[in-house]
A and B are shown apart, each in its own frame.
Chain A
Amino acid sequence: MLTRVIIIVFLVELLTTAAFAQFFYFGRNKVQYTTFDWHVLKTEHFDIYYYPEMRELAERGASFAEESYKALEQKFNHNVGNRIPLIFYSSHLHFQQTNTTPGFIPEGVGGFFEFLKGRVVIPYNGSLWDFRHVIKHELVHVFMHSKVMRVLSDHRLAQDRLPPLWFTEGLAEFWSTDWDVQAEMVLRDAVVNNYVVPLSRMEQISGSYLMYKEGQNLLQFLASRYGDEKVLLMMENFWKATSFEDVFKKTTGKTYQEFDDDWLYWLKKTYYPLLALADPPSAVSKPIVEEGFNSKPVYYQHGTKREIYFLGNHTGYSSIYRIPFDSAKAKLEIVIEGERTEDLEAFHLFQSKLDISLDGLLAFVTKSGENDALHIYDIERNKLTQTYKFDSLVVLGSPSWSPDGKRIVFSSVDKSGSSDLYIWDTGREELTRITHDFYDDKDPAWSPDGNWIAFSSDRTPFGYHGKYNLFLLNLSTNGIEYLSYGDESYYSPTWSPDGKSLVFTSDIGGARNIWMMQFDTPLTPNPSPSGRGVGGEGGSAKKLTHFTTAAFDPAWTDSGLVFSAFEDFSFQLRYIKNVQKLYDSSNTSKSLSLTPLEKPWEPKAIVAEDSAQPPRYSGDYSLDIAGSQISTDPVFGTAGGAYLALSDILGNEQYYFLLYNTAQSTDELLESFNIAVSRFSLQQRANYAYGVYRFSGRRYDLRDPDLYFYERVFGGYFALSYPLSKFRRVEAAISVSNSDKEVIYGIEERRALFLSNSISFVHDNSLWGPSGPLDGSRFNVTLAYTTDIQFSNANYYSAIFDYRHYFRLAQRSAYAVRLWLFYNEGKEARRFFMGGSWDLRGYPRWSLRGKKLWLTSHELRFPFLDQLGLRFPFGGVTFVGLRGALFFDAGSAWDDTYRETLGSIGGGVRINLGGVFVLRYDIGKRIVNNLRNFDDEVFQQFFFGWDF
């Protein structure tokens, strides 16, 4: 406890005194690019936070939320007692800026429910169906949490536990959506490839997408086999046991193992027969890339050069790759590396396709600062030639070149959340919006004759249930015509080079496969009497592939189709040839009747009462944490105090209060009060913090020349952090503090009125492995100056240079380098310290101190043991991911006269425990005498901490 108090004090001091210059941190930045003008729409059960650009979307979301609430009330036989805060963002890029959670939000996260304030935060992705699903999914979490807490409270039990993650996420999926094609794809693959994780070992895949789908399937099976009512009963019985497995047994009568026997057998019975009618992609197609995650392939031919370009992630960073096509020894090459710089921050791996014009210009989209950008890369010159950004457009996707190479059509989500199609004329630099409605239009593909754009959209009545059909946009008339019409989904239309065929993917039959339609007569841009350019009432499509799992994004090559296929929980690039032969011999066809049966759908909305002036958000604060503690220490005595933190519902404004007392006798009471109040503001791009404090007590400070003293200090600080991008930022701080120090052992007193200033530049684009960074680099350069403006008792400046680089050697191996140069000079300059497992290994922790310090570390990081299991008759324990290291450290610390260069060499093992901390063990030898000799003894150090 006292350590925590010290840490809090330490953190405050971090921002206030010269110590700030000596301690630093890295980390990427959550950049508030956008100023959101928040408003609040109040419905019967919700407070919905939105910004005016997306008001219509918020009103639709409100309707979805109330509809879900009513449905869940019935399922749970329960209601939520308080109003639920719902925070909407009109795009994922805006969502990534949220302060409702301190962490970074990966692209795959579709929303979350946050327990502390009961907030539900949801981005829109262009699809109203997805929006409705995610709202309901998160509300299942809200209801489940409320129900379980109520059950525990009714039985007067501590409300300190929740069901396991497989249940909470499985339930959220089970009660928010039907079992769909994507879920089916995952389970089929898992069963056929034998990697289904049984319920009894579900913790092994905790948090993964597989867990979500297995959880959903498991609950579905449980309901059908043991009764619908068992799912709700599981929550109502939650009080009966502390172990959820016991609750499960009391509810179903089965242990996890017994249930697994039923469930796994049922899965096999369900999915094994599929192999009679369909095949895994690997059995019937040729591999191009099998490792890692690969998507959105596109073919390029220039002379004899034949290549496939695609989006992939093989190293932890998403990038654009290329591979020679149809070569036995084809080797992957990174063309454009992503996720290291602001311009190419993220590639939207599974969402946005690539396209290459006939003259070799690759068009692709990345996140680039606040919004997405459209880039043009000249393949022959290996050079990025153009980058386009559009102020009004937030998310871009799937560019497609016109045949003359002068225009690009792409889909985009604007600030209101509308997902529409746009054409960008690269010559005239003109942007034209070609669809403008609430339907989700995507995957545009320009026809070879230049007259049509095929695309996928939910603008049929089936779109209300999340179905996407294919459409043709007539560029002469701007009219939109059906290409398909049915209660199934169609995606990724791609024209054959001659324009006579269109391949696409569809989930007809329950799995997403490649289909093709052929146009018997050429498409005419002039309207026929029926109003359609496509000849006749409709055509038919034939199925080209019969995969057990799924195929995505087919692209024509000169001899067949290349596509992305899901198998063995990876997305592989594969190839089929003789497309015409496959078409001619296919026995599976679908007639496409294009007569619309109903009008397209219109989503309901709950409109704000005051449509002229929607209520603006003015701040809604609540307590985040409050606590009190007492501790005692043989050296520092007893301390007791309390702390609390408040923040607003959007997480933008945070307040921290600390109060404790270190008095050892009553006459010290008033003197020994310690108070700190801070405010952090994260709403704008420049984050700032300020506060006041008063601290008094005995201190042991490794940085201080006096080491052990009694100090009374009061003052204030202001700190600023300005992110230049996700990877770089500038920080500055200023503080004024009055310090009255009594040096205990020296029986001296020192008074000072410190003015401290510091400025830092931080860079971090490192990629982390299980025990520390494996790729990228990070550095911190800090300059600081501290002076006593009243008594001239201190006057020093500080310079810090901390550079770390990680050279990737293989998927899980790296060579890491670190260089420290720390310099303090002046009156009462602080000391740096090092020694121990975190820096100069082999020496006692923090045993080396000096006003100047340098250190260099070189470490080879590699996987050591993938799994180590110990099994006893009564149970076992398994350690996964043990990593090894070989290292060399050298450095020194001194005040005025350089002493000796010290070093060490050795090896070690690290293990990550629960993703929370890393245990580390090092063994080696010191190198002494200015690196001339090895020490006789071998040192061993066992500690915790991440690799540098």
Chain B
Amino acid sequence: MIAVCRLRIVEWRRRQISLQPFVKLFFVILLVVGFYGCSNLQLLKTPQNDSHQWQQYGGTIERTNGSSSLLQPPLSVAWMYDASAGYSEYSVTIADSIVYIGTLLGEVYAVHAHTGENIGSYDFESAIYGAPVVDHSMLYVATANSEVSLYGFDLMKGRVVWKAALGGIETSPLLLGDNLFVTTLDGDVYSINKHTGTANWKFLTPLFERPAFLRSSPASDGKSLVFGCDDGSVFCISIEDGKLLWHSRTEKSVVASPSIWNGRVFVGSQDGAMYAFNLSDGALVWKQSLGSPIYSSQAVGEHYVYAGTSSGDIVCLKSETGEILWRHKAQSAISCAPLLAGKVLYVGSLDRSLYALDADTGTLLWNETLEGRIKSMPVVWNEFLVLPLDNKMVVGMKRGGGE
């Protein structure tokens, strides 16, 4: 009897022991799935400096939307990536052959710039309007979450290393030195230490007639920060301490992000005019009516400002005087900033067409109708042009390339 019991106990223990590997494996799988279900965005090698990188929206801190890469049309689609969500006008950032795509669903995707192959993704759980900022192995992401809205994400570790509760952000952060500058929907502007996520200072937009959101991304010359406001204001504050330097007015909302060039601030307003202000004191230098509301930002090159309007006009103005030099008509609204790549101006329209114009003359060099409306600005990196479409795809186009 006792022998039988012992035998049975031994048998039971054997059974117990034999289950353990499976249990362990189960939990390992669970952990892996759980981990990768949340995030699998982890780079295997440290990103290198890239002379053509598009690190943040606008290309530079002045947000001139000019690319150091030269890319001549005609182009054809080399790859497509399905991120299954919508995109804002701020588009992608590219560094060290990796394209970082923020979506309105709150995910950041990293794909190979040459092939469109998926590298990884991370879910920040709230809509991402502004383009993510890539700085070596760090990625800075702003979301529309009304509480925690700015993240520092370590690409090598594959996780968030700091977060800041700033209120909803629907613009692109500006990286300047060790700091990030963001404008928020609550009407605040923050300077944030990029290493720790702590605030250096906060600027509260003055209420003139009514509360207003900030949906314009800030631009800088290294000393001051300029941004537009829903109430039609354009503000300039000090980088050092966030003190107001000057404030100017347009007649309707400024949702476009300003560009700084040669001591001037250029920005379009929903009143249908392009404005140029003195960066030093905000005095109006010129104002040029373009005939219909301006929702998108501009590109600025040597002596020229390029803007798109909601009536489909692509306009080139002389930066010194605002004189209209040429105009090209698209079939539908221009909702995103153009990109200047050398002497070629690339502009996307809601008519689903990508236009390439001669930046000096406005002559149409090439255009291609794609599968979705174009509401995000194109970004050129080396021989590729990357462009999110509103059919939830991101396309990589190349000169003479093909699928």
Chain A interface residues toward B at CB < 8 A: 70, 73-75, 77-79, 81, 150, 153-156, 225-229, 233, 239-240, 253
Distance A701 CA – B230 CA, assembled complex (angstroms): 67
Pick 8 A–B contacts, CB within 8 A, sort by A.
Answer: A73-B311, A74-B293, A81-B373, A155-B85, A156-B84, A156-B86, A226-B210, A239-B127
* Complex CA distance for A154 and B388, rounded to whole angstroms: 12
Docked-complex contact B373 and A74, CB < 8 angstroms: no
**Within the complex, which residue of B212, B292, B293, B310 is in contact with A227, where a contact is CB–CB below 8 Å?**
B212
Alpha-carbon distance between A81 and B333 when the two chains are bound, in angstroms: 12
Given contacts A74-B311, A155-B105, A227-B212, 15 further A-B contacts (CB under 8 A): A70-B311, A73-B333, A77-B335, A78-B333, A153-B86, A154-B85, A155-B85, A155-B104, A156-B105, A228-B252, A228-B253, A229-B252, A233-B213, A240-B144, A253-B211
A-contact 0/1 string along B81-120, CB 8 Å cutoff: 0001111000000000000000011000000000000000
The reply to whether A79 and B350 contact each other, CB–CB distance below 8 Å, is: yes
Of the candidates A70, A74, A150, A253, the one having the most CB atoms from chain B within 10 angstroms of its own CB is A74
Q: Min CB distance, B348 to chain A, in Å?
A: 13
When C-beta atoms are compared, the residue in chain A nearest to B146 turns out to be A250
Q: B255 contacts the other chain (Cβ, under 8 Å)?
A: yes
Across-interface contacts of B211 in A (CB, < 8 A): 226, 253
CA A154 to CA B392, docked complex, whole Å: 8
Q: What residues of A have a CB within 8 angstroms of the CB of B295 in the complex?
A: 77
B104 close to A154 (CB less than 8 A): yes
The answer to whether A73 and B210 have CB atoms under 8 Å apart is no
**A74 adjacent to B231 (CB under 8 Å):** no
Cβ of B351 under 8 Å from chain A: yes
Residues of chain A within 8 A of B310, CB atoms compared: 73-74, 77
Is B270 part of the binding interface, using a Cβ–Cβ cutoff of 8 Å?
yes
B390: Cβ under 8 A from any A Cβ: yes
Q: A226 CA to B212 CA in the complex, in Å?
A: 8
Docked-complex contact A229 and B255, CB < 8 angstroms: yes
B332 within 8 A of A: yes
What bracket does the count of chain B residues touching chain A fall in?
Answer: 20 to 34
Given A73-B311, A78-B333, A227-B253 in contact, is the A155-B127 Cβ separation under 8 Å?
Answer: yes
Q: Which residue of chain A has the shortest Cβ distance to B309 in the bound complex? A: A74
- Taking CB atoms and an 8 Å cut-off, the chain B residues in 197-219 that contact chain A are 210-213
Q: CB-defined interface of B255-284 with A at 8 Å, one 1/0 digit per residue?
A: 100000000000000100000000000000
Alpha-carbon distance between A607 and B390 when the two chains are bound, in angstroms: 33
In the assembly, what is the distance between CA of A233 and CA of B185, in Å?
Answer: 12
Point out the residues of chain A lying under 8 angstroms from B311, CB to CB. Answer: 70, 73-74
Q: Which of A156, A225, A228 contacts B85 (CB 8 A)?
A: A156
Q: Report the Cα distance A74→B313, complex, angstroms.
A: 11
Inside 8 A of B351's CB, which chain A residues have their CB?
79
Bound Cα distance from A73 to B331, whole angstroms: 11
From residue 314 to 350 of chain B, which have CB atoms closer than 8 A to chain A?
332-333, 335, 350
C-alpha spacing A584/B35, complex, angstroms: 90
Question: Do A228 and B270 touch across chains, with their CB atoms under 8 A apart?
Answer: yes
| CA of A229 to CA of B230, assembled, Å | 7
Q: Are A227 and B231 in contact (CB under 8 A)?
A: yes
Please give me the residue from chain B that is nearest to A152 by CB atom.
B86
Do B390 and A150 touch (CB < 8 A)? yes
Given that A73-B311, A77-B333, A79-B350 are contacting pairs, would A155 and B86 also be in contact in the complex, using a CB cutoff of 8 Å?
yes
Q: Which 6 A-B pairs have the closest CB atoms?
A: A154-B86, A74-B310, A229-B253, A79-B350, A79-B332, A154-B104
- Given A154-B104, A227-B230, A229-B253: A73 in contact with B332 (beta carbons within 8 A): yes
* CB of A723, distance to nearest CB on chain B (Å): 45
Q: How far is the CA of A227 from the CA of B233 in the complex (A)?
A: 12
A74, A156, A253: the one contacting B333 at CB < 8 Å is A74
Q: Give chain A residues whose Cβ lies under 8 Å from the Cβ of B390.
A: 150, 154
Chain A residues, Cβ within 8 Å of B253: 227-229
Q: State the CA gap A227–B211 with chains docked (Å).
A: 9
Docked pose: A770 CA to B86 CA in angstroms: 46
Query: CA of A229 to CA of B250 in the docked complex: distance in angstroms?
Result: 13
The minimal Cβ–Cβ distance linking A43 to chain B, given in whole angstroms, is 13
A interface footprint on B239-262 (CB within 8 Å = 1, 0 otherwise): 000000000000011010000000
From residue B310, how far is it (CB to closest CB) to chain A in Å?
4
CA distance A75 to B252 in the complex (A): 13
The residue of chain A having its C-beta at the shortest distance from the C-beta of B296 within the complex is: A77
Residues of B within 8 A of A228 (CB): 252-253, 270
Minimum C-beta distance from A237 to chain B (A): 10
Q: Are B333 and A229 in contact (CB under 8 A)?
A: no
- Residues in B with CB closer than 8 Å to A154 are 85-87, 104, 390
Q: Which of B85, B127, B333 contacts A79 (CB 8 A)?
A: B333
Distance between B126 CB and nearest chain A CB, rounded to angstroms = 10
Q: Which A residue's beta carbon lies closest to that of B84?
A: A156
What is the bound-complex CA distance between A74 and B213, given in angstroms? 21
When distances are taken between beta carbons in the complex, the residues of chain B under 8 Å from A79 are: 332-333, 350-351, 373
B105 neighbours in A (Cβ, 8 Å): 155-156
- Which residues of chain B come closer than 8 Å to A74, judged between CB atoms? 292-293, 309-311, 333
CB A146 to nearest CB in B, in angstroms, measures 11
A872 to B76, CA, bound (A): 65
Chain B residues positioned under 8 Å from A233 (CB to CB): 213
Q: Return chain B residues, CB-CB under 8 Å to A150.
A: 86, 390
Closest beta carbon of chain A to B330's beta carbon, Å? 11
What's the minimum C-beta distance from B390 to chain A, rounded to whole angstroms? 7
Q: How many Å from the CB of A231 to the closest CB on chain B?
A: 11
Give the CA-CA distance A233 to B351 in the complex, in Å: 22
Q: How far is the CB of B140 from chain A (nearest CB, A)?
A: 22
**Smallest CB–CB gap between B335 and chain A, Å?**
6
- Nearest neighbor of A251 in chain B, beta-carbon distance: B213
Closest to B272 in A: A74
Q: Give A155 to B127 CA distance when docked, in angstroms.
A: 8
CB distance from A250 to the nearest CB of B (A): 8
Contacts of A227 in B (CB 8 A): 210, 212, 230-231, 253
Q: How far is the CA of A70 from the CA of B390 in the complex (A)?
A: 20
| Bound complex: CA A175 to CA B231 (Å) | 20
Quick one: which of B379-403 are within 8 Å of A by CB? 390
Cβ of A491 to closest chain B Cβ, rounded Å = 36
A224 to B347, CA, bound (A): 33
Residue among A77, A233, A239 with max Cβ neighbours from chain B (10 Å): A77
Contacts of A155 in B (CB 8 A): 85-86, 104-105, 127
A847 to B193, CA, bound (A): 80
Shortest beta-carbon distance, B35 to chain A, in Å? 23
Residues of A within 8 A of B86 (CB): 150, 153-156
Using CB atoms, name the residue of chain A closest to B292: A74
A156 to B293 Cα, complex, angstroms: 28
Chain A residues closer than 8 Å to B104, beta-carbon distance: 154-155
For the complex, what is the distance from the CA of A253 to the CA of B211, rounded to whole Å? Answer: 8
Residues of A within 8 A of B292 (CB): 74
- Shortest beta-carbon distance, A230 to chain B, in Å? 8
The complex places the Cα of A153 from the Cα of B213 at a distance, in Å, of 24
Complex Cα–Cα for A78 and B230 (A): 19
Docked pose: A229 CA to B232 CA in angstroms? 10
Give Cα distance in the complex from A227 to B270, angstroms: 11
A243 to chain B, nearest CB (A): 16
Q: Which residues of A contact B212 (CB under 8 A)?
A: 227
- Whole-angstrom CA separation of A240 from B126 in the bound complex: 10
Residues of chain B within 8 A (CB-CB) of A253 are 211
In angstroms, Cα B310 to Cα A75, docked, is 8
Task: Choose from A153, A229, A239, A240 the contact partner of B270 (Cβ within 8 Å).
Answer: A229
Give per-residue flags for B283-312: 1 if the beta carbon is below 8 A from chain A beta carbons, else 0: 000000000110100000000000001111
Roughly how many angstroms separate A150 CA and B350 CA in the complex, as a whole number?
Answer: 13
User: Whole-angstrom distance between the alpha carbons of A253 and B231 in the complex?
Assistant: 14
- Give the docked Cα–Cα distance between A225 and B211 (Å): 10
**How many Å from the CB of A496 to the closest CB on chain B?**
51
Shortest CB-to-CB span from B93 to chain A, Å, is 20
CB contacts (< 8 Å) of A153 on chain B: these are 86
Closest Cβ of chain A to B131, distance in Å, is: 16
- Cα–Cα, bound, A77→B292 (Å): 11
Which residues on the A side are within 8 Å of B213 (C-beta)?
Answer: 233
B97 CB, nearest partner CB in chain A, Å: 28
